[in-house]
Structure 1
Amino acid sequence: MLLHVRDVLTPDEVRQARDVLARAPWGDGRVTAGEQSAQAKHNEQLPETSPETRTLQDLVLRGLERHPVFFSATLPKHISPPLFNRYGGAANHFGNHVDSAVRYLRNGAGRVRTDISCTLFLTGPDDYEGGELVIEHPGGQQQVKLPAGHMVIYPGTSVHRVEPVTRGHRLASFFWIQSMVRSDEQRRLLFEMDTHLRQLRGSIGETDPAVIGLTGTYHNLLRQWVDT
């Protein structure tokens, strides 16, 4: 499932993030790439251990925690610590690649199966030219370039790339999710059901028998598919 998640960060939070990134110590983005990805990756990245990274991670995670659509769509079991990259100048693109199936966390802190890939945009489309995230899917290609504070989620199995940035800089956070529901198809069905249920609750109320019955069906399906 490829989904545009709106307003993960508020405009004030985007400004806070941009202020932090303006004084951040950028390094070579290949430091976190796998063997294949390192051949295609040409960007800059914040060191995982820098104080700026930790400050921004807290900001992003707070945005995710309060966002009901994010939780409904991903059903997260583990979220890898968000990372931050920059495209522009000589380090301006990332060729076709597939994310590694498992993300190993620093200092033996565990591992995350990369069911879902996430890109949270921290610069708006007018701030740079190029830089589209291009995601391959069975129906063709999807080009993604979102407003600052918005995010795209897509299957970790997807071949994807970032087109060259030809003006300005593209700033973003990226991370991976291990979902409680491993199947992308099952997650999509649950998300669609939950979306319709929220609409029904808004129109006919929580106590309508149909709403109660469908809510029970949703949770019974979740019980069958979830791994906590």
Structure 2
Amino acid sequence: MLLSIPDVLSLDDVRNVRTLLDQGVWRDGRATAGGQAIHAKQNEQLRTDSDAAQAAQEQVLQALQRSALFFSAALPNRIFPPQFNRYSGDTNTYGDHVDGAVMHTARTGDKVRSDVSCTLFLTDPADYEGGELVIQDTYGTQRVKLPAGHMVLYPSTSVHRVEPVTRGARVSCFFWVQSMVRSDEQRRLLFDLDMNLLRLRQQGESAVTVGLTGTYHNLLRMWAEV
């Protein structure tokens, strides 16, 4: 499932995060790339061992906790600490690749299985040219370039790339989710059911909504790993 989630961060939140990022130290993104990605990755990545970087991570995590749509779509069990990258100048692209299956947190040694990949845009599209996130989805190739504060999530099994940035700079936050429900197909069914239940509840509670809510939770109970 590929889903865009609007306004995960408000514009004020985006400005606060960008201010924190300006206080951090950027390095060659290949320093964190695996064997496959190191040949495709040409960007900068923020070191996350500073107070400013960790404050930016915490602001993103707090925003995710407030997003009911993110929870419904990703069903998060564990979230890899948010990372930040920048595309500009000579370090302006990331070729076709698939994210690693298990992500390691250097600071804590924790491991997160990558079920869902997430990109949270921190730059207004008018401020740069190019830089589209291109994802090979179930329904074909999707090109994603969202307003600052908006986020896209998609299966980590997808081949994807970032097109060259030819003007300005593209700054974003990225991270991975280990979902309570490993199967993308099952997550999609649960999300569709949850969204339709939400629409039914807007018409008032009834025996139908109670019954379907029970079906949702019984399916989640059957499929979830916690």
> Under TM normalisation by the shorter chain, which class is it?
over 0.9
Q: How does 1:24-173 map to 2 (within 5 A)?
A: 24-173=24-173
Task: Quote the Cα distance in structure 1 between the aligned partners of 2:161 and 2:62.
Answer: 27
Task: Write out per-residue CA displacement over residues 128-181 of structure 1, whole angstroms, 9 at most, x where no aligned residue.
Answer: 000000001243210000000000000000000000000000000000000000
Task: Quote the Cα distance in structure 1 between the aligned partners of 2:142 and 2:50.
Answer: 33
Judged with a 3 Å threshold, the aligned counterparts in structure 2 of structure 1 residues 145 and 202 are, in CA distance, closer, same or farther, namely same
SS at match of 2:210: helix
* Contact 2:24–2:47 under 8 Å retained in 1: no
Q: Which residue identity lines up with residue 54 of structure 2 in the other structure?
A: R
Q: Which residue identity lines up with residue 224 of structure 1 in the other structure?
A: M
Task: Quote the Cα distance in structure 2 between the aligned partners of 1:45 and 1:129.
Answer: 19
| Normalised TM-score (structure 2) | 0.97
SS at match of 1:219: helix
Task: Quote the Cα distance in structure 2 between the aligned partners of 1:180 and 1:80.
Answer: 14
- Count the aligned residue pairs: 226
SS at match of 2:36: helix
| Normalised TM-score (structure 1) | 0.97
Confirm or deny that 1:11 pairs with 2:11: yes
Task: Quote the Cα distance in structure 2 between the aligned partners of 1:218 and 1:121.
Answer: 31
Confirm or deny that 1:226 pairs with 2:210: no
SS at match of 1:35: coil
Structure 2 gap segments, 5+ residues each? none
2:190 maps to 190
Task: Quote the Cα distance in structure 2 between the aligned partners of 1:2 and 1:176.
Answer: 14
Task: Quote the Cα distance in structure 2 between the aligned partners of 1:31 and 1:216.
Answer: 47
SS at match of 2:84: strand
Task: Quote the Cα distance in structure 2 between the aligned partners of 1:21 and 1:49.
Answer: 12
Task: Quote the Cα distance in structure 2 between the aligned partners of 1:101 and 1:83.
Answer: 17
Structure 1 gap segments, 5+ residues each? none
Task: Quote the Cα distance in structure 2 between the aligned partners of 1:79 and 1:140.
Answer: 27
Task: Quote the Cα distance in structure 2 between the aligned partners of 1:126 and 1:167.
Answer: 10
Task: Quote the Cα distance in structure 2 between the aligned partners of 1:138 and 1:115.
Answer: 15
Task: Quote the Cα distance in structure 2 between the aligned partners of 1:138 and 1:212.
Answer: 32
1:180 maps to 180
SS at match of 1:106: coil
